[in-house]
Structure 1
Amino acid sequence: MRSLPHSSLGILLLPALLLVLAASPPAAPLSPDGLALLAFKAAVTDDPTSALSAWSANDTDPCRWPGVACVNTSSTEARVAGLAVAGKNLSGRLPPELGSLSLLRRLNLHGNRLSGAVPPALSNATSLRSVFLYDNNLTGAFPAFLCDLPRLQNLDLSKNALAGPLPPALGRCRQLQRLLLANNGFSGRIPAATLPQMKSLQLLDLSSNSLTGAIPPELGKLQALAGTLNVSRNRLSGAVPPELGRLPATVTLDLRFNNLSGEIPQSGSLASQGPTAFLNNPGLCGFPLQVPCRAAPPSASSSTPPPTTTGSGGSAGGGPSQPMKTSLIVLISVADAAGVALIGVIVVYIYWKLRDRRGDGGGDDEDEEGRGLFFCPCMRANTCGDSSEGSDAGGDGEKKRGNGSGGGGGGGEDGELVAIDKGFRMELDELLRSSAYVLGKGGKGIVYKVVVGNGTTPVAVRRLGGGTAAPERYKEFAAEAGAVGRVRHANVVRLRAYYWSPDEKLVVTDFINNGNLASALRGT
């Protein structure tokens, strides 16, 4: 058979090649979400860690880019739902094209050097739930347009250079749960009329700004607060409003480093706050600060003038009165002293008579009365008063009055403070007399910080509840406490002692002062 020439073979293969090229689809263009992300890359002027180097227009799928998270929709292409490029020291600005990411739920660009204002077009990203732009160099006023985002729950703009007053438009942030504006330059008064409208707010941090005026009582209407209310390191003045006592007992107040004055109210949850909530306010006094409030001197207009004595030569028309003789004054003073002494003798006589009648039985009653007051003198940060924690402690104390049954530590009647750590030198009486305040309350009881002796040895005391337990449970409790006490680990708090009685179980551990959970999670 004769072979075909090369020219004839090329003519035969050309139609087949055209069919193959027609069957292969052309390269798909970059999606609109990818173009918006490239606009952000173009707005970045310095990328020292090459965090955005893999973002390329030649890549048709932005969902594979570092820091980008996508979600599948009913359409054929995935949409950008998260942008997290944090702590990369990026310099530049926020482009308005980010507002075109209509399904973006989380924007996390904290820990960079982004500058300029927050673009108003960002309010077009209506699916945003969390915006974390803290620790940048953003300037301008508070971006009130972000309150138009219908699903926004978390807004953190702290550690920037934002300035100006807090606008009334904050009231439109009705879905906001966490608002952090610390370490900026905000000034003026806290908008009182706006705060009650933020019914979902759980955490509010306005610390380290230049806010002035009084603390608005309307802050007490934020019933959804569950974390921290921080207005420290401002220029606030005036008194602490008693309405703050209406806040839930779980709220931690921070009013430090202001110009507040007057006596600290002891209403509601204010009574359970520790002294650290009120420090560095030179004009504040009263509990829990160790600054007594001075009694106001009576005014001259309200003082009662001394009665005048009319002598025998005085006229009925109000003539000049004669002064009392010195001998009469001495006689009246001696008579008063004698009367007071007589009353004291009678009271002492009655007391000893009653004690003799009670005999041996009286001692048991007195011991039981002392045990009935066991917890309130120990944890006396006004926890026996108005606060919710205090009412619980006080209620348990009343419940224990006159209860003479039950076995204490080791099966005894009174209970015993057992030291697990040999270095623990505290007696039960010393623990009872020490000052303390509530740290927190949960399903496992109330935790108190107890300052012992000269204030240099704080411990944490957890009250495990007041329900009566069977005496046979003591051995099980002591065995578990001994096992925990032998644990030595850097991340496990050391158990120092425990107390067991029929109605009271206490666990004494080291007090670890290491900030709060929010700071640990954010790495600040």
Structure 2
Amino acid sequence: MRRLSSPFLFPFSLLTSAITITILNAVATSAVSPDGLALLAFKSAVSGDPESALASWDEDDADPCRWPGISCANLSSSPDPRVVGIAVSGKNLSGYIPSELGSLVFLRRLNLHGNRLSGPIPSQLFNASSLHSLFLYDNNLSGPLPPSLCDPPRLQNLDLSRNSLSGNLPVQIRGCRQIQRLILAENRFSGEISAGIWPEMVGLIQIDLSSNNFDGPLPPDIGELDSLTGTLNLSHNSFSGSIPKSLGNLPPAVSLDLRYNNLSGEIPQSGSLANQGPTAFLNNPALCGFPLQIPCQGTISAGSAAPPGNRGEAPEADSSPSRKKGLRPGLIVLISMTDAAGVALIGLILVYVYWKLKDKERKNGCSCTGKSKLGGGKMDKGQWRCRFCCKGTEASENDDDDDDENDSGSAGNEAGEGRLVAMDRAFEFELDELLRASAYVLGKGGLGIVYKVVLGNGVPVAVRRLGEGGGQRYKEFAGEVQAISKVRHPNVVRLRAYYWAQDEKLLISDFIPNGNLAAALRGRSTNPSLSWSIRLKIAKGSARGLVHLHECSPRKFVHGDIKPSNILLDNDFNPYISDFGLNRLMSIAASTNPHDATPAAPGGFIGAALPSSAAATPRPAVDRPNPYRAPESRFPSARPTQKWDVFSLGVVLLEMLTGRQPETAATHVAAGSSAASTSCCSTEEKGAWPELVRWVRMGFEDARPLAEMVDPVLLREVQAKKEVVAAFHVALACTEPDPEARPRMKTLSDNLDRIGQ
């Protein structure tokens, strides 16, 4: 083995020696800091730089904090600024990752995705003890996962997808107790996943092991991950055996994906497994049961189940020559041809009758694309003939005619039969077209499963599956949907249609193709880092959409759940407010008793998260805190107001400015001065405010440098510093603890529009 390995190690040793000599020469000829030397080692390891991304990384420049892609911070433990972030992504760099990067002990974020780096991931890289996020996806890295992967105690985000990494999933990975997102998709990992890994990883939110070569049974203990809230993607592997019943213990918000495996047996109908859509289990040939349309063969037909002894009850029949020989082949063929001809004739008759009825319908002026109404919402005689062909349309347009008892009764019948109701006449399609289309799970949470569905004409839509109850409350549901569909603004997701039946309720809206703001800010988007101009564009558009909801819509709505994941982005980064009005609809869809509904709050509120005392279903015992909610919303008796949305948008704006999530800002607060911790706010306010709001207020009161507070990505845009400061002041005004001190959404929008003009 030594003879075989030495020829391969010798060139690598020469290369390492050359890099070391280069670094020593740099030390002798310049005053580059130790962090700068580690960065120069990375530059030396890059063999190809077609876009000259590292050209200005120069050993003659003693301050690496000025190099492109490098972020620094002043830390109390060091007199000089230290490197805390490296972001050189999408530059087509070729080469390898040097071990010297592990000497950056204050490095928090390493983002090298979208390059052509190859070779193994050096184990010394994880000597960077402050490492929080590691994004190496979309490269050509190979080899196994380093055993030192979990050495950094703060590592939370690990994305190594779309590489050529191989080997087993090491048992040592269970030491990553703080990791939240583990994404290893599209690699060459193989073998069985050992038991005992997942119970140790108590902070996991998302797991993606798809498109690998894992085999063996699904690990049952993965069902113990009660921290999961995102996707558990195990698709496109070779897992076999049955689905463990323990996977039903996963939280209801988890979106499960087990497609394209070799799983078999019946799908357990326990816990969250019963809430998954059919997409989660497709392309497992031996899998059966709900929600798949493949029944499990649990019984045997009556003929094959007859006991052998029963065949002797008619010996004379069995002994007859005709019974022994059976039917002659010619007679069998004749019977088969006669049956086929009969079936074909019946089919032709049915088709003929169908088209005759359609022709008669057209002659009588019956069309489901429109109708003429008399006074009071009554239909004329021509329309009455086609009433039942246009049930769904009638329900959508007559839902407000509560004084017509006949209309109300017909609505109840239509609800029971199930109809697709188009809210926009220019966006009509058939129910069969919707059900036949390919569906992809976009997400799953407390507001139902969301699918991306591509219709026959190529138009994608978002379909949200709400629930299976509320069969007696069609009129109420239709009224709420009508109110939501009337909200039309360039920055609000538009509701196009809905489907109502006793056992299924669907909402069909526009599909926004570029993900949401949360994914774009937190590195899980394919987009490059958001520039200041894009962030300002998103903030302004979001405020305009909320102004329309607050002041221009018929009911003057409150959204009540503004957060980055509810702000969708299109390909031009135009924002769209989503998930508007869903809480009210969910309370209707989940209830079968009309008196169980939560009445709309004054002003026509249908969008906010309702207090537990008024909710249609009780809250769980442990409710995950929402750092975007206003402090006053945490009181049980609080009623939603528009100032809630102002506070939430202010927190979102602070997240866009700082690049830090509200719930993870506590570590940065601790790094601030002790004096500031007592000056910014009272004890009661500290308990109500998100940590990010407190940290920013402390920074402004202490007059800390802007570079310590703003997202390092924005520091490159020097001309935007005045605009960033102005945006900070707008956000701080929105996050005042006193609701009366906060501006109206219209004022907030006007203040944002002035920035950059």
Q: TM-score with structure 2 length normalisation?
A: 0.45
1:273 and 1:438 in contact (8 A); partners too: no
**Structure 2 residue identity aligned to 1:56:** D
1:208 and 1:233 in contact (8 A); partners too: yes
Indicate yes or no: 2:196 matched with 1:193: yes
C-alpha distance in structure 2 between counterparts of 1:116 and 1:448, whole Å = 39
2:215 and 2:238 in contact (8 A); partners too: yes
**Structure 2 residue identity aligned to 1:269:** S
From the superposition, tell whether residues 141 and 306 of structure 1 become closer, same or farther in structure 2 (CA, over 3 Å). Answer: same
C-alpha distance in structure 2 between counterparts of 1:194 and 1:242, whole Å = 18
Matches within 5 A, 1:282-321: 282-297=285-300
| Secondary structure, counterpart of 1:410 in structure 2 | coil
Compute the displacement of 1:292 (Å). 2.1
Matches within 5 A, 1:91-102: 91-102=94-105
Matches within 5 A, 1:74-473: 74=76, 75-297=78-300, 409-411=400-402, 413-414=408-409, 419-423=422-426, 445-446=447-448, 460=463
C-alpha distance in structure 2 between counterparts of 1:211 and 1:147, whole Å = 21
1:5-49 per-residue CA deviation (whole Å, 9 max, x = no partner) reads xxxxxxxxxxxxxxxxxxxxxx98211111111111111111111
Which residue number corresponds to residue 55 of structure 2?
53
Q: 1:62 aligns with which of 61, 64, 70?
A: 64
1:409 and 1:499 in contact (8 A); partners too: no
**Structure 2 residue identity aligned to 1:509:** I
C-alpha distance in structure 2 between counterparts of 1:325 and 1:442, whole Å = 67
When structure 1 is superposed on structure 2, of 192-201 and 98-107 the one drifting more is 192-201
Which residue number corresponds to residue 37 of structure 2?
35
**Structure 2 residue identity aligned to 1:149:** P
C-alpha distance in structure 2 between counterparts of 1:162 and 1:42, whole Å = 23
From the superposition, tell whether residues 245 and 49 of structure 1 become closer, same or farther in structure 2 (CA, over 3 Å). Answer: same
From the superposition, tell whether residues 214 and 94 of structure 1 become closer, same or farther in structure 2 (CA, over 3 Å). Answer: same
From the superposition, tell whether residues 324 and 235 of structure 1 become closer, same or farther in structure 2 (CA, over 3 Å). Answer: closer
Q: For the aligned residues, what is the CA RMSD?
A: 4.7
Compute the displacement of 1:134 (Å). 1.0
C-alpha distance in structure 2 between counterparts of 1:476 and 1:286, whole Å = 35
Compute the displacement of 1:510 (Å). 3.7
Compute the displacement of 1:492 (Å). 5.9
**Structure 2 residue identity aligned to 1:410:** D
From the superposition, tell whether residues 297 and 32 of structure 1 become closer, same or farther in structure 2 (CA, over 3 Å). Answer: same
C-alpha distance in structure 2 between counterparts of 1:151 and 1:422, whole Å = 53
C-alpha distance in structure 1 between counterparts of 2:259 and 2:162, whole Å = 19
From the superposition, tell whether residues 140 and 113 of structure 1 become closer, same or farther in structure 2 (CA, over 3 Å). Answer: same
C-alpha distance in structure 2 between counterparts of 1:283 and 1:163, whole Å = 28
From the superposition, tell whether residues 522 and 192 of structure 1 become closer, same or farther in structure 2 (CA, over 3 Å). Answer: farther
| Secondary structure, counterpart of 2:41 in structure 1 | helix
From the superposition, tell whether residues 427 and 110 of structure 1 become closer, same or farther in structure 2 (CA, over 3 Å). Answer: closer
Indicate yes or no: 2:535 matched with 1:522: no
C-alpha distance in structure 1 between counterparts of 2:211 and 2:442, whole Å = 24
**Structure 1 residue identity aligned to 2:525:** L
C-alpha distance in structure 1 between counterparts of 2:185 and 2:87, whole Å = 22
1:36 and 1:98 in contact (8 A); partners too: yes
Q: Which runs of 5+ in 2 are unaligned?
A: 1-28, 318-397, 415-419, 529-757
C-alpha distance in structure 2 between counterparts of 1:139 and 1:198, whole Å = 25
Equivalenced residue count is 398
| Secondary structure, counterpart of 1:522 in structure 2 | coil
| Secondary structure, counterpart of 1:127 in structure 2 | coil
1:272 and 1:438 in contact (8 A); partners too: no
C-alpha distance in structure 1 between counterparts of 2:113 and 2:105, whole Å = 21
From the superposition, tell whether residues 479 and 231 of structure 1 become closer, same or farther in structure 2 (CA, over 3 Å). Answer: closer
Which residue number corresponds to residue 509 of structure 1?
508
| Secondary structure, counterpart of 1:87 in structure 2 | coil
Compute the displacement of 1:425 (Å). 6.4
1:273 and 1:437 in contact (8 A); partners too: no
C-alpha distance in structure 2 between counterparts of 1:182 and 1:438, whole Å = 17
Which residue number corresponds to residue 496 of structure 2?
496
1:80-133 per-residue CA deviation (whole Å, 9 max, x = no partner) reads 000111111111111111111110000111111111111121121100011111
From the superposition, tell whether residues 62 and 283 of structure 1 become closer, same or farther in structure 2 (CA, over 3 Å). Answer: same
1:158-178 per-residue CA deviation (whole Å, 9 max, x = no partner) reads 111111111110111111111
From the superposition, tell whether residues 306 and 200 of structure 1 become closer, same or farther in structure 2 (CA, over 3 Å). Answer: same
Compute the displacement of 1:307 (Å). 8.9
| Secondary structure, counterpart of 1:287 in structure 2 | coil
Matches within 5 A, 1:12-23: none
2:288 and 2:295 in contact (8 A); partners too: yes
Query: Which protein is bigger by CA-based radius of gyration?
Result: 1
Compute the displacement of 1:58 (Å). 1.0
| Secondary structure, counterpart of 1:138 in structure 2 | strand
C-alpha distance in structure 2 between counterparts of 1:239 and 1:496, whole Å = 40
C-alpha distance in structure 2 between counterparts of 1:42 and 1:237, whole Å = 46
Compute the displacement of 1:295 (Å). 2.6
Compute the displacement of 1:498 (Å). 6.5
| Secondary structure, counterpart of 1:170 in structure 2 | helix
1:211-259 per-residue CA deviation (whole Å, 9 max, x = no partner) reads 1111111111111111111111111111111211111111111111111
1:494 and 1:510 in contact (8 A); partners too: yes
Compute the displacement of 1:512 (Å). 3.7
C-alpha distance in structure 1 between counterparts of 2:74 and 2:213, whole Å = 45
1:220 and 1:246 in contact (8 A); partners too: yes
Which residue number corresponds to residue 684 of structure 2?
none
1:180-199 per-residue CA deviation (whole Å, 9 max, x = no partner) reads 11111111101222121111
Compute the displacement of 1:50 (Å). 0.6
2:164 and 2:188 in contact (8 A); partners too: yes
C-alpha distance in structure 1 between counterparts of 2:71 and 2:197, whole Å = 35
From the superposition, tell whether residues 462 and 198 of structure 1 become closer, same or farther in structure 2 (CA, over 3 Å). Answer: closer
2:485 and 2:496 in contact (8 A); partners too: no
C-alpha distance in structure 1 between counterparts of 2:205 and 2:464, whole Å = 28
2:484 and 2:495 in contact (8 A); partners too: no
When structure 1 is superposed on structure 2, of 75-84 and 491-500 the one drifting more is 491-500
**Structure 2 residue identity aligned to 1:482:** K
Compute the displacement of 1:422 (Å). 2.3
1:334-368 per-residue CA deviation (whole Å, 9 max, x = no partner) reads xxxxxxxxxxxxxxxxxxxxxxxxxxxxxxxxxxx
C-alpha distance in structure 2 between counterparts of 1:272 and 1:509, whole Å = 19
C-alpha distance in structure 1 between counterparts of 2:54 and 2:121, whole Å = 21
2:279 and 2:440 in contact (8 A); partners too: no
2:33 and 2:62 in contact (8 A); partners too: yes
1:481 and 1:498 in contact (8 A); partners too: no
1:274 and 1:437 in contact (8 A); partners too: no
From the superposition, tell whether residues 79 and 512 of structure 1 become closer, same or farther in structure 2 (CA, over 3 Å). Answer: same
C-alpha distance in structure 1 between counterparts of 2:185 and 2:452, whole Å = 31
